[in-house]
Amino acid sequence: MNTANQETFLQHLNPHLALAHKISRAYQADADERADLFQEMIYQLWKAYPSFNGKAKFSTWMYSVCLNTALTYQRKAKRWQHQSLLPVHEQIADPTSHEQQDNSLQLFEAIADLAPLNKAVIILYLDGLSYEEIAAVMGISVSNVSVRLVRIRKELETRLNDKLKTQ
């Protein structure tokens, strides 16, 4: 990629970096894994940028690349997890993290437990994309987006209510 394309890429990318952070947070709970996933997303965006033709908004294209990267990363991580020969060590929770938990953190935890496609749909919805834009990014119909969102909302409501009852 030449210098002009690099500058254009960075001008497109920088205002939308939060998208990649949101997706990596939704797909990886561990901070190190989240950082690795974020880095992989940026790399895949860089590799795919020459194919960006401007027919869709950059953010729509970016969502598509980042979601596909997250799903691929998750599949690879599961394969490595099964092949790992090293014992897994439990991390000791930070005692202040429970005290500082707010509603948005609980929502993200509930979203993280959703099926991968539903997780992607709700992230796009929470970012304010229209049903048509979500359908374009996900490659599903607008009516499928609508039905999924109704089901996702009910599932999240149930999960959050259950969590409140156990506290």
DSSP 57: -
DSSP 157: H
Banded pLDDT at 83 (limits 50, 70, 90)? very low
Q: Are residues 2 and 47 in the same domain?
A: yes
Q: Are residues 121 and 78 in the same domain?
A: no
Closest CA to 60 of 143, 113, 112, 120: 120
Instruction: For residue range 84-143, list pLDDT tens digits in order.
Output: 444 443 444 444 444 444 667 778 888 888 988 899 899 888 888 899 989 988 889 999
- Overall number of domains in the chain: 2
Residue 166 lies in a domain: yes
CB 40 within 8 A of CB 73: yes
Question: 84 phi and psi, to 5 degrees?
Answer: -65, 135
| Per-residue model confidence (pLDDT) at position 73 | 86
Mean pLDDT of the chain: 82
Residue 17 lies in a domain: yes
Range of the domain at 44: 1-85
Residue 92 lies in a domain: no
| Per-residue model confidence (pLDDT) at position 160 | 87
Q: Are residues 113 and 165 in the same domain?
A: yes
Q: Are residues 54 and 30 in the same domain?
A: yes
Q: Are residues 17 and 41 in the same domain?
A: yes
Instruction: Compute the average pLDDT of residues 68-86.
Output: 66
Instruction: Out of 34, 52, 85, pick the residue that ends a domain.
Output: 85
Banded pLDDT at 39 (limits 50, 70, 90)? very high
Q: What share of the chain is helix, strand, coil (3-state, %, to 5)?
A: 80, 0, 20
Residue 90 lies in a domain: no
| Per-residue model confidence (pLDDT) at position 66 | 93
pTM above 0.95, yes or no: no
